[in-house]
Structures are given as structure tokens and as C-alpha cells.
Chain A
């Protein structure tokens, strides 16, 4: 029985990978998407840091946090509404693939894109001679954080069930931009007032930025273990919520 169930899940996971391949070909391998994914966080970041005369070690965690967050959530919210409009979602649903496998595929493709683009600020940091104190923790953090943000991106398109990508992107921006400002990117958490600290604790990006500071600057507000566990919990909650809400709203979307 267990073997049958695991073979079924394994088989469905393989079909998720077909969704990943499709998404990369259609949405993520386009030059403008990659450039846009890098440019938005870079320029937003520059606009806040230029003239502040901070050391590079203090800049890279914020840049990395923004890059991972913006790239892993850049295309994800638009995929489901876009496919509903193009009637390709109907094709996927009538294929022998579970709904959870379809959405896992969407999450994995956003995750891979986010993790890949996040390598750029890390490589840039290494090239300018910044020492990464704990590369393993940083790598684990990037993986967990981009998976968490990718799950959030699919969750953002789950409600309301629409086939208008522009509407979803607007909602997504309304969630994403405030999160960037409360996540310790521009102002370190320890410098925030107590209400700011409480507010920042509800953002998953806070824990990734904190973890990145620990890996690069060697100091952080929360213990690294806590950062990792909270990111994992956020990732699971976002993923499960995204799948469950999409399953429930799917009949209204088609």
C-alpha cells in the first residue's frame, strides 16, 4: 500500500517537472524577465543606499533579500490567470495530473528562477572580495527562502479566481512592496521601534535578510536556527494554502 502510494506520488512529481519545463520555456527563459528580475531589486536598492556611505558587507544582505524576493515572486502570480485566459489551464486539468502536482510545478519553476537569479548578488559579493562567513547556511537560506517566496507567489493568484493577470499583479504588488519595507532590508531590525519589530516578524523576508546578514556580516537579530525554522514553516504554510485555495477556487476560474 505504502509502495503504491509512494509510486503514485513519484509519478505525479515527475509530471510536476513537466510543468516546470513548460514554465521555464514559456515564462522564465525570456531575456526581459531575467533582466527585469535583476534590475528592479537593484535599482530599488540603489535608490535607498546611494549617498549613505555604508560598507559593502552591509549592502549585500539587503540586495540579496530583495533579489530573491522579487525574482521568486515575479512571474508566479500571473501563471494561473494567464493560463485560465489562454484556455491552457483547461488542458492541464483534463490531463492525468493532480491539481497539487500542477501547482507544485508552478512553485518549483518560480523557486528555480529565484534561486538562479539570487546567485548573481552572491557572485558579485565574492568578486568584490566580501567574505561569506557561513556559505552553507546562506545556501540553505537561499533555497528555503526562494521556495517560500515562490509558494507565496502562487498563493497570491489563488484568490480571487480571475483570468486577468494584470489584476493579480496589482494585488501582488500591494502585498510585495509593503513587505520589503518592513523586512529589515533598508533599516536593520534592531534599529526599528518595538511596533516595527513586531510588524517585521510577520514577514518571511525578515528572516531571510536576517540570515543573510548573519552569513555575510556575522551578526543577526534572530538566531540562525530560528530564521531557518521560520522560513520552513512559512514555506509549508504558503504551499499548502496555495494548493488548497486553488483547488477550491478552480471551478470558478474555468
Chain B
């Protein structure tokens, strides 16, 4: 919607002061966009795709050529610039889309699942590039289903459930607001039933994870002491014990469940 592809039913939005409807051209002029579906022109070369984008943004010829050369070198595509995109791998296409999105030196960059389906090395390189751009002053608007990616890259996260923003906050504050999502991961030298662990005071959920159990608790220190007593009473030895902060995935799942039950988040 912010990129002008879908018309809003109601409400207003501004990109650096420009209304997305009444000043659509001006607001889009300030954006760079990397859509989820790789949509460079596959019959054009990488160079011609970037040139076309530059022309659509009204960048003078000399400037767009210089910028395209620089971007292709930065993204390691310079030796393939004359090749049609048809023969590019997914990672190369994604890098080309980033080059196209950056040709106009955007003030705001929209990225839709930028690392989805990429190999680990390409994911890491693209994440580093995103961090680098953000450090240089570009606002990055990232849409992702990858919680760890959001955790690593974002200053603020909006969680959308059923098309509505459920909450917006920084990753750490989101986690800290999630009472009851702290957990202890424990394993014993002999089998211990989930039902037995549920009887420990302060534990309100137990999930079996392989040979370990994950206990969701409010106060980890009290439960650790209880666990030691629990092991002694059963003549069992604790092999490993870790306290875990809630992951963003835990926060997301809790939020979705609470929304479904009609409970406002964090209450």
C-alpha cells in the first residue's frame, strides 16, 4: 500500500511528508523497493534492468551509469552485467533487485522477504548490506516471516496478525513485555514425565524437546532450586540446565494466541 501498488480503503499515510495518494509520484521518488517475487525483466541484461529503473526515477544518464557501475561492483555482479537475468540464480536476482532499488539513493527502502530462499552465505551478505545502508542513514522497512532476521536487523517491529498491526515495539522491549515466556531447558540422566514436571511450583507449561524439557516459568531462580530438589527426590542427575530468554517467535505465538482469545497484548 505504501509503495502505491494497492489503493487504501481509508486513512492516510505520508512518506517524508508526501501523501501517498495526492503526492504519489513524489513519495515514490524517495523509495527503493525490493519485492518478494523476483521481478526484474528476465529478458533484459542486469545492466539494462538497472538503467531502466534509473530512467523511471528520472536520473540523468551520466549519473545513472556511474551509480550502476558502482552498485554492480559492490554487489559482485559486475562481471555478469551484460548477461540476461534469465540465467541468474535466486541470490543473484536478489542482489540485482537491491541494485535496482538503490539506483536512486532512496531515503526509504522497502524490502519484502529479502533473504527468503537464499543460501546462508547470501543471506548473511544481504543482511550485512541492509545494516550498512541503515547505518548510512537509509530508513529500512523490512517485511519478513523470519523472526530471527527481524530480531537481528530491526530497531522496531510491528507484528501483524490477520492484516492488523497487533503491536509495535523494539525487539527487546517486546520480549521483556512478554511475562511468562522465560523458560528453563533441562535434561536428566533418566526419563522424567512431562506431567511430573508440571507439578513443580512456578511452572505453567512444559514442552518436550528431544531428550530435553522446556519449562515456561515466571521466576527462573525459584524453579531452578525446585528442580534440584525434584532431581534429588527421584535420584536423578541433571545433565544440562539453561535459562532462556523469550525468543521473538515465542512473543509472536503468545501474541497471536492472546489475540485469538481476545486478550489485549501484555495484559
Give me the interface of A with B, judged by CB distance under 8 Å: 11, 14-15, 17-18, 21-22, 25-26, 86-88, 90-98, 251, 254
Which residues from chain B contact A17 at a C-beta distance below 8 Å? 55
Judged by a CB distance under 8 angstroms, whether B58 is at the interface is yes
Q: Interface with A: B30-38, B122-130, B219-227, B246-254, which one?
A: B30-38
- A92-B6 contact in complex given A22-B41, A86-B42, C-beta closer than 8 Å: no
Total number of A-B contacts with CB less than 8 angstroms? Answer: 67
Which residues from chain A contact B4 at a C-beta distance below 8 Å? 93-94
- A86-B39 contact in complex given A94-B31, A95-B53, A251-B6, C-beta closer than 8 Å: yes
Q: Is the CB of A18 within 8 A of B56?
A: yes
Give me the interface of B with A, judged by CB distance under 8 Å: 3-7, 25-26, 28-29, 31, 33, 35, 37, 39-44, 48, 52-53, 55-58
Q: Is the CB of B57 within 8 A of A87?
A: no
Q: Is the CB of A87 within 8 A of B37?
A: yes
Q: Is the CB of A88 within 8 A of B57?
A: no
Smallest distance from the beta carbon of A231 to chain B beta carbons, Å?
A: 31
Q: Is the CB of B57 within 8 A of A91?
A: no
Which residues from chain B contact A92 at a C-beta distance below 8 Å? 56
Closest to B33 in A: A94
Which residues from chain A contact B31 at a C-beta distance below 8 Å? 94
- A96-B39 contact in complex given A18-B52, A25-B44, A26-B44, C-beta closer than 8 Å: no
Closest to B36 in A: A87
Smallest distance from the beta carbon of B85 to chain A beta carbons, Å?
A: 11
Q: Is the CB of B28 within 8 A of A90?
A: no
A96 to B26, CA, bound (A): 7
Smallest distance from the beta carbon of B82 to chain A beta carbons, Å?
A: 13
Q: Is the CB of B42 within 8 A of A91?
A: no
A14 to B25, CA, bound (A): 14
- A95-B35 contact in complex given A22-B41, A26-B41, C-beta closer than 8 Å: no
Majority SS of interface residues in chain B?
loop
Q: Is the CB of A11 within 8 A of B58?
A: yes
**A91 partner, pick from B7, B25, B35, B55, beta carbons under 8 A:** B35
Closest to A95 in B: B56
Q: Is the CB of A96 within 8 A of B41?
A: no
Q: Is the CB of B35 within 8 A of A15?
A: no
Which residues from chain A contact B48 at a C-beta distance below 8 Å? 22, 25
19 pairs from A and B in contact (CB 8 Å cutoff): A11-B58, A18-B52, A18-B55, A18-B56, A21-B55, A22-B41, A22-B48, A25-B44, A86-B39, A90-B37, A91-B40, A93-B4, A94-B33, A96-B29, A96-B58, A98-B25, A251-B6, A254-B5, A254-B6
**A90 partner, pick from B29, B35, B53, B55, beta carbons under 8 A:** B35
Q: Is the CB of B55 within 8 A of A251?
A: no
Smallest distance from the beta carbon of B104 to chain A beta carbons, Å?
A: 9
- A87-B28 contact in complex given A18-B55, A251-B6, C-beta closer than 8 Å: no
Q: Is the CB of B35 within 8 A of A87?
A: yes
Q: Is the CB of B55 within 8 A of A94?
A: no
Residue of B3, B7, B37, B52 with most partner-chain A CB within 10 A = B52
Smallest distance from the beta carbon of B240 to chain A beta carbons, Å?
A: 48
A90 to B3, CA, bound (A): 10
Name 14 extra pairs, CB < 8 A, besides A15-B56, A21-B55, A25-B48.
A18-B52, A18-B55, A18-B56, A22-B52, A87-B39, A88-B39, A88-B41, A90-B35, A91-B33, A91-B40, A94-B5, A95-B53, A95-B57, A97-B56
Which residues from chain B contact A11 at a C-beta distance below 8 Å? 58
Smallest distance from the beta carbon of A219 to chain B beta carbons, Å?
A: 46
A17 to B61, CA, bound (A): 13
Smallest distance from the beta carbon of A90 to chain B beta carbons, Å?
A: 6
- A96-B57 contact in complex given A26-B41, A91-B35, C-beta closer than 8 Å: yes
Which residues from chain A contact B6 at a C-beta distance below 8 Å? 251, 254
Residue of A25, A86, A94, A251 with most partner-chain B CB within 10 A = A94
Closest to B53 in A: A95
- A251-B37 contact in complex given A18-B55, A21-B52, C-beta closer than 8 Å: no
Q: Is the CB of B3 within 8 A of A94?
A: yes
- A91-B39 contact in complex given A96-B29, A98-B25, A254-B5, C-beta closer than 8 Å: yes
